[in-house]
């Protein structure tokens, strides 16, 4: 398998071995575990300014990555069905794609700060299994992506995801501004966009596998199957999150409505009973006085 690795990236930062990437992931998970214990009896940090800057940087970075990938994809006249990786060191656009995909991979390390901010702000409800699984696996899986397929059909997945992240981190940046929060009604649609991207990537990877198995493309089949499995996991986990976050919310709203209605009915009944009792008492007093 090592003989199939892209020789262009061998000496790039963090690319010579998977150990540094795995070690950074272990440190990330250890920080989450220890950090939550340390912060348990401490006041949460505000961090509004750093979070705003952080999100703005990620919007800019993902915008650049998306532009580099899409522009090179078009200039190389690549196909949406399947593309092998062009490892020619003299091909300018192929090199641009490889560099952009490396930055895409490294952005997954930068995004560990999402969770760091949650820990420091004591937003423990945000640190779900889905959150930790997605962040820790993406960084490691895309190390493999850069090492073996920094181009070809992988360009489509990285371009789509970086485009979604432009929207996502724009939302987070706006959410860091208190005056903007009442206007952020579209959070559920952001989750829908995230789910849609997984279906699109699943379809793109499936086409690449069909073309590869038919002998019309030289994309790595094992990488395609691994990506399909990961997309199935993401669709399942994000669908479960969406159902819990929004369908359950409707259920709570309906229950609250029913509770309010019951409370109103009880109050009305009590008021009627009180009024009747007062009238009866008044009639007794009149009779007694006569």
Residues with a catalytic annotation lie at: 134
Phi, psi (deg, nearest 5) at residue 178: -50, -40
Q: Which two tokens stand for residue 152?
A: 């070809």
Q: Which residues contact 252 (CB under 8 A, 6 or more apart)?
A: none
Cα maximum dimension of the chain: 115
14: left (phi over 0), alpha (psi -120 to 50) or beta: left
Measure the N-to-C terminal CA separation of the chain; round to a whole number of Å. Answer: 109
Please write down the HEC assignment for all residues of 46-75: CCHHHHHHHHHHHHHHHHHHHHHHHHHHHH
């Amino acid at each position: 398998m090592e003989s199939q690795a892209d020789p262009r990236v061998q000496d790039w930062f963090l690319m010579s071995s998977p150990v540094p990437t795995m070690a950074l992931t272990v440190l990330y998970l250890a920080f989450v575990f220890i950090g939550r214990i340390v912060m348990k009896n401490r006041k949460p940090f505000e961090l509004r300014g750093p979070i705003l800057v952080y999100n703005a940087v990620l919007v800019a970075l993902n915008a650049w990555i998306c532009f580099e990938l899409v522009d090179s994809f078009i200039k190389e006249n690549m196909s949406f069905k399947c593309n092998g990786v062009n490892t020619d060191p003299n091909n300018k656009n192929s090199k641009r794609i490889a560099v952009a995909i490396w930055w895409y991979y490294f952005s997954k390390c930068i995004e560990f700060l999402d969770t760091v901010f949650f820990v420091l702000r004591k937003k423990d409800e945000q640190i779900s299994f889905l959150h930790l699984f997605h962040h820790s696996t993406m960084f490691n899986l895309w190390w493999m992506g850069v090492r073996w397929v920094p181009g070809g059909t992988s360009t489509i997945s990285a371009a789509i995801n970086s485009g979604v992240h432009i929207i996502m981190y724009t939302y987070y940046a706006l959410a860091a501004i208190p005056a903007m929060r009442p206007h952020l009604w579209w959070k559920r649609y952001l989750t829908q966009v995230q789910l849609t991207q997984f279906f699109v990537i699943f379809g793109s990877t499936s086409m690449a596998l069909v073309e590869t198995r038919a002998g019309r493309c030289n994309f790595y089949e094992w990488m395609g199957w691994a990506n399909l499995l990961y997309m199935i996991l993401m669709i399942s986990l994000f669908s479960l999150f969406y159902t819990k976050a929004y369908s359950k919310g409707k259920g709570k709203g309906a229950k609250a409505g029913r509770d309010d209605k019951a409370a109103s009915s009880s109050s009305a009944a009590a008021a009627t009973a009180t009024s009747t009792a007062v009238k009866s008492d008044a009639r007794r007093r009149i009779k007694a006085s006569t």
